[in-house]
Structure 1
Amino acid sequence: MKPYISPEESKTFKEKPIEIQELINTALYILDCFGIPLEATPRRLERTAIAFLASSNIKKIADIKNAKDLNSGYSLKTREIITFVNEHFNETISPGSYDDIRRKDLKLLTIAEVVLQSSPNSATNDSTRGYSLNPTYGELVRSFGSPNWEQTVAERLKDIEPLSQKLKRERTISKVDVTLPSGGHLSCSIGEHNDLQKAIIEEFLPRYGHGAEVLYVGDTSDKYLYLEKEKLEQLRFFEISHEELPDVIAYSKKKNWLYLIEAVHSSGPINEIRLLQLQKLTKDCTADIVYITAFLNRQKFRQFMTEIAWETEVWTADNPDHLVHFNGDKFLGPYSK
C-alpha cells in the first residue's frame, strides 16, 4: 500500500505517532478503493481520513474489523467528531470549527454517500444531526485485509459510479483556456472565479507584473492546477501544502517582487486579518511581497471595498489599465514596515 501522506508533506501529520500515521494512510487507501477523489492538500487528506475514522468509531488499526455504521445506531455530531479526533488522533481542532467538519472534512464522503446523515431531512445547520458510516461500505470496511479485498470491493460497488469518475467526467465537459506569460497553456474549469484568474494572468500580469513568471495557480476543481514548487522553495515561500495559499502567485525576477493575488468572486479579499496571516506566513520569504485583490468588475469591488486592507492593491478586470492603491508611501509595490 502506497503512503498517501508522508511526514515531510504535513507538519501535523509528522507530529503524530507512527501507528496513527499508518492508520490515516490505511483509511485513505480504503477511501481510494471506494472511489473517493484524493486530489487535495496533505492536510485536507488528513482531515478527510480522520473524519471518516471518527464516523466509523475507528481509533486504531485493530478497530477496522469492528467498524460501526448507521445500522449499529452509532453516529457522531460535528462537535463530537472534533472531540473524537482531538482525543484519538493528536489534533487540536477548535470546538468552534464544527461547521468545517460538515463543509470540508465530510464533504466528499457525504456526497459519495460513504458517510450518511443520521437525520437526512433535517436542516443543513441542525446541530443534532449525526454522521455515520453507510452500512453498505461498513461491511466492506470490516472485511478489510481479507483475501482479494480490492476485487470484492469492485464487485460489490460495480453498480455505483465512483465519485472520482463523476467529477472527472464533469471537469472534462468544459474548460477555460489560459495562456501563461511564458507562452504555456492551462485549462481551468468553467466558472466566474476561474474567468477572473484567466484575466489576472492574461491582463493584469502583462501590465503590472514586470515580466513576472506564474509560480502557482489553484483551480476550483484542482488545488494544484499549476505549481512551480522548487522555485517557490528557492524564495523560501511557506509550506506549499498550506491551506492558506492565495489564488495566483507570480514572481518578478527583475524587481524581486512576489505577487500574492486573491481572485474574489464571492468571498476572500485581502482584509486586515488575511494580510496579517499572509505576512506571518511569508516572514522568511526572500522576495518583497505585493498583495493584490482582484475582482471581475467595479460592482463586485464595491461589495467588498470596506474590507480591503491598507497597503494592498486592488485590480478589476473590467478596467484593466487602472489600479486602486490603498494608502502607502508609493504606488504599486511592496510596503516596508
Structure 2
Amino acid sequence: MDIKEKRNEKLKQAKIILNALGMPKKQKNDRSAWVFLALANIKPHDSWNSARSPLLPTVEIMQFIRDHYGQDYKPNSRETIRRQTLHQFGQARMVDRNRDNPARATNSKDNNYSLNDPILKILKEFPEGEWGKFITEYKGNFKELTEIYERKLELEKIPITLLNGNKIKLSPGKHNQLHADIIHEFCPRFVGKGGRVLYIGDTASSRNEGGKLMVLENKYLEKIGVPPMCHDKLPDVVVYDEERKWLFMIEAVTSHGPVSPKRWHELEEALSSCSVGRVYVTAFQDKAEFRRNAADIAWETEVWISENPD
C-alpha cells in the first residue's frame, strides 16, 4: 500500500473513531480527523496501539498534518482548527488543554492540547481489540469526567469581589489577574465607594474558550451616553464613579498596548455623546511592563502599577 493509500486509510479510521465517540458532523470531517491523528501521534504507517498523547500547541498540530498527511494548512487556519475542532474536542472530554499547567492563561503562546487517558485507551485497542467496549465506558463516564475537569478548572479561577459585593470568577492568567487587581486595589484607592463596575470581561471570552462577559451593563452605559459598543472595543475594565460622575476607562496591559494616542482618539470619538467626564488609565502589573510601553502612552492619561498600588 503506497503512502497516499495509507494516509487515506488512517483518515477513514480516524473518522470511524470520531463517529463512534458521537462527535457532530463538523468534528468528524477531514480537518478534525487529521487533528485527531496529530494528537494521537499516528503517522500513516503506524498502528493504533502506538498512539501517544504529546502536549501539542496548535502550530505543531498543523506541522504534523503537513509533514505526515500532506495537508498544508495556512497560518490563518490556526483559529479555525482551535475554534472548530479543538474546542469541541475539549467539550467532549477527549482533549485536555494545558495538562502540564492548567492555570496557564488562555491567550498564552504556550497553550497546548493532548488526548486524555480514556481516549488513549480506546485508540490502543483499535481496530481489532475491545475499543468498542472502552467507548461505551467512556460515554458512561462522560459526566464524571466533565465534573472532574470542571472542578480542576474552578480551583484555578481568579475570584473577584465587585464594588457592590457581588462575586465573580475569571479564567486563570496574568491578564485576568490584573483585572482582579484593578477591582481590588485600584478602585478602592482612586474610585471610592461611589464606584460601579460597568464592564469587565474574561480573557477567554474573546477566544471562544468558555470565558464570559462577566459584567456588561449596557443600559447604564447608554444612560450616561456611551453608545452600544462590542466588548472588544471597550477597554478591559470600565468603572463609573457615580458621586463625581467620572468614567474610568482602564486598559490592563500584559500583552497588548496601553492607552496610546491612537486609542485615546478612537475612544474619544466613540464617546463624543458621553455626558460625564472620562479618566483614561493604563494599568500594568509591574514597572518593567510599564517601561516597555511608556513611549506609547498618550499624554494626559493616567498610569497605575499593581505592584506599587498607591
- For normalisation by structure 1, the TM-score amounts to 0.49
| More displaced 10-residue stretch of structure 1: 214-223 or 234-243 | 234-243
Residues 94-133 of structure 1 mapped to structure 2, 5 A cutoff: 102-103=78-79, 107-112=82-87
* Residue equivalent to 1:205: 187
Aligned amino acid, residue 200 of structure 1: I
Secondary structure of 1:207's aligned partner: helix
* Residue equivalent to 1:186: 168
Structure 2: runs of 5+ lacking an equivalent:
1-21, 33-73, 90-135, 205-210
Aligned amino acid, residue 165 of structure 2: G
Residues 1-337 of structure 1 mapped to structure 2, 5 A cutoff: 102-103=78-79, 107-112=82-87, 171-210=153-192, 211-221=194-204, 222-321=211-310
Distance 2:147 2:300 in 1: 44
1:111 Cα deviation after fit: 2.4
Distance 2:226 2:219 in 1: 10
Secondary structure of 2:221's aligned partner: helix
Aligned amino acid, residue 297 of structure 1: D
Q: What do the CA deviations read for 1:34-80 (whole angstroms, capped 9, x no partner)?
A: 68xxxxxxxxxxxxxxxxxxx9xxxxxxxxxxxx9669xxxxxxxxx
1:317 Cα deviation after fit: 0.7
Taking every aligned residue pair, what percent have the same amino acid on both sides? 36
| More displaced 10-residue stretch of structure 1: 255-264 or 105-114 | 105-114
Structure 1's consecutive aligned runs of 4 or more residues displaced over 3 angstroms after TM superposition are: 68-71, 98-103, 164-171
Distance 2:239 2:302 in 1: 15
Aligned amino acid, residue 220 of structure 1: T
Aligned amino acid, residue 248 of structure 2: Y
Higher helix proportion (structure 1 or 2)? 2
Give the length in aligned residue pairs: 196
* Residue equivalent to 1:92: none
Distance 2:214 2:165 in 1: 16
1:265 Cα deviation after fit: 1.0
Aligned amino acid, residue 214 of structure 1: V
Aligned amino acid, residue 216 of structure 1: Y
Distance 2:30 2:284 in 1: 45
Secondary structure of 1:301's aligned partner: helix
Larger radius of gyration: 2
Aligned amino acid, residue 306 of structure 1: A
Evaluate the alpha carbon distance shift between residue 167 and residue 257 of structure 1 in structure 2; reply closer, same or farther with a 3 A threshold. Answer: farther
Evaluate the alpha carbon distance shift between residue 220 and residue 169 of structure 1 in structure 2; reply closer, same or farther with a 3 A threshold. Answer: farther
Aligned amino acid, residue 297 of structure 2: I
Evaluate the alpha carbon distance shift between residue 109 and residue 275 of structure 1 in structure 2; reply closer, same or farther with a 3 A threshold. Answer: same
Distance 1:317 1:306 in 2: 19
Distance 2:225 2:167 in 1: 26
Distance 1:235 1:180 in 2: 20
